[in-house]
Amino acid sequence: MELTEAMRSQNACRYYKSDPVPNAVFYNAIESARFGPQGGNRQPVRFLIVTDPAKKKQLSEWYNVPWKAYYEAAGSGQDAIEAESGDKKATNITMSNPEKSLADADNFAQHYGEHPAIVLVLADLEDTHPTDTDLGRLSIVGGASVYTIAQNFCLALRDQGVATTFTTLLCMFEKEIKALFNVPENLSVAAAIVAGYPEKGFPKKLFRRPVEEMAFVDSFDKPLTK
């Protein structure tokens, strides 16, 4: 598959076939994903592929705790809602059809434990070396050594006809997840990527902001144009 096509059709898939994804497909994806950029080539990322029905069911139960709070708040028309943990917030983004998007996401959540595979993205935070921890805001730089690899993983699966959904709600249950899966103490939960063959195929067009609203030249009042 041509790279641009994969990038423009790698969506958050909400509906999956029941067919399992072979281990060889995951192996091939990680074989390619591991070459993503990472600070100092410290390679902090590990992948834990969950296919066991009982363990997926438990992950689903945890996932739906914060999801239900988000769904109820979104349904009431709030722009931002408080997550279960207290001060964490999630903000609605502009969508082409927000009602359908919310309904699809809720269906996805209700069947979270039934999706073919849930891939836990784990990271050794000691090997991320963030440079923005003293700025008085949420640190995000450390993710540069983690999410590049995770996105490569999603693209490598897309190349093999496997759809994905990148989720982070399970990060709230890091302690419980580490206990359930015997995760080493030095690793943290960075994301949970659902993977499987898409029930409805891949999209022909994704709704995204235009380049002119995302990129600028020399000053934020000078949009990038061709």
SS (H, E, C) 120-153: EEEEEHHHCCCCCCCCCCCCCHHHHHCHHHHHHH
As a whole number, mean pLDDT of residues 70-89 equals 56
CA 184 vs. chain centroid, Å, equals: 22
Tokens describing residue 114: 């039934």
48 close to 26: Cβ distance less than 8 angstroms:
no
Tokens describing residue 84: 């279960």
Look at residue 197 in the predicted model and tell me its pLDDT. 98
Tokens describing residue 202: 């891949």
Percent of the chain with pLDDT over 90: 80
As a whole number, mean pLDDT of residues 49-53 equals 98
Amino acid at 131: T
Mean pLDDT, the chain, rounded, equals 90
Better pLDDT: 100 or 87:
100
Q: What three-state secondary structure class fits 95?
A: coil
Tokens describing residue 143: 């993710």
Task: Read off the pTM.
Answer: 0.88
Look at residue 33 in the predicted model and tell me its pLDDT. 96
- The residue segments making up the domain with residue 142 are 3-223
At 190, is the pLDDT very low, low, confident or very high (cuts 50, 70, 90)?
Answer: very high
**What would the pLDDT profile of 82-95 be if each residue is shown by its tens digit?**
333 343 433 333 45
Look at residue 76 in the predicted model and tell me its pLDDT. 72
As a whole number, mean pLDDT of residues 1-14 equals 92
Q: How many domains does the chain have?
A: 1
Task: Quote the CA–CA distance of 115 and 107 in Å, as a whole number.
Answer: 11
User: What is the chain's Cα-based Rg?
Assistant: 18
Look at residue 87 in the predicted model and tell me its pLDDT. 38
CATH code: domain of residue 115: 3.40.109.10
Task: Quote the CA–CA distance of 109 and 166 in Å, as a whole number.
Answer: 12
Q: Where are the beta strands (DSSP E) in 31-186?
A: 45-50, 80-82, 89-91, 117-124, 163-167
90 close to 66: Cβ distance less than 8 angstroms:
no
